[in-house]
Structure 1
């Protein structure tokens, strides 16, 4: 349930209403936008008489919300959320950021790749220090040393670092290392213990959609993070598993406008994991951009044939630079059409 507050309401009146609601055992979520203030009421709202709420002087109207995700719901928070990722980089609210780098941190080549993607226009650096792999015999990542290399590269180039955390026990390590954005991968997108643990931090979370996850399930995963007090969630469409086998996954471009309609959280696209093949990454990146994505996450490697993981889907620095040039043109055309 949400209560839309009259513009004439004072802060004291608003605080009084919140106290009244919370005194009856409910949680509240107050969203103050440019044009209106909304009080979200979370709990078994069948116990609240909407007519009683509407009779209060400061309440404009009351509306029931049927969706189970509340904090991630645009009805509770009409204004777009803007997530501060550090180093002066924010995502959401009209900005467009590109996260780029190798699938896995491999060593000294990380800095070389990071310099190349930044020169091409990337604003955030990605790389895996911990790697969730289908086979236990595949490369699993460098671990803490990989985190150190990432943070050194991010610090030198003044770029926020995005890297995946897989275990709730490692969250404190990521926070101590100063990781700017913690990524939750597709395999862990319903690891509720991990979602709650990152939710206890204020570190931004890049939450990927699971292999067979519906849009509502993705939003409920975001709700787990937000319910613990961390509002800094970025949603990521990275393709879902369908009957099609010609690509690694099927990129659900529909999800981008649907998520923007349902939620105030920023949405990025991952064309690398969606397609699994270098030849398809750029066209899907362009489609995601045209569909209104707030950003992209793209894998880049200077020698894809020698990459320790996922080389088949990595762009070379030259291919990435070409993609960035074309993305700028698409962004210019898309923004001009909406103005």
Structure 2
């Protein structure tokens, strides 16, 4: 049994703190005077005053030393959504989260803030100004979404005011910003291979993209407003830039900012979605023999061709959330942070 140290309200641990979102969160917590520990499978940077604990989050015994004397845990560890590895998603998002919850309760942690995803309510059809009351997707269109639904349910159901353990889930959507290892690098790689010429659908679909600093702001606000009898206990909150933008306009701004051509030829949405579905099924059938990784999965096509933007009203009312950085400034700052990805660099 781990020995209990009296938790300090300013001592926190960021699980997944070596990742893109995790590192931004760690940096902002330090600015705000928190004492920060990181638990992750690897250490990707060093910061004065930050203690790193390396280990597998499915191992409760490895987690416990990182949670001693800590009152607050941020859980933002997750595999990359596009990895399409069912067993990995199950292991990290579901089994790992179960171990995190057990370790938190054993170590006397008082608050857990989960980074969930707005995709938990997305089934590949239009969502306009979606509220948190929307039901979970009954037919999730990828393994990431399927396991994020299970993860969020586990965390919110673990909220227990009588036992002094409070939980809340933050659902960001389309996170981007400096040091992002996915969105911008993948976009540029696709453009360099000459595959960013086409717009899926008519190009009018509105979506949320959320600057990483705004997500971090939402996570910290949630932690600071999560207390007994508060409306946050056991609930989920959408956090976005609150500025829906046409998906292909956003992509074009990033590409043109880095010196690449914007896509301009239109392809019918249902045609591309049907092809993506066929390729996905083919990859599934051939998996025992050969591993195919189709560029266009049904989820990626749905994200590129449908409306999906969410209401932040609940976060505004319950924790005073307002985006700190507007979308246009966020795009400029993101583009400027990738000089090495510019055309001709």
TM-score (norm 1): 0.31
Between the two structures, name the one with larger relative contact order (CA 8 Å, sep ≥ 6).
2
TM-score (norm 2): 0.31
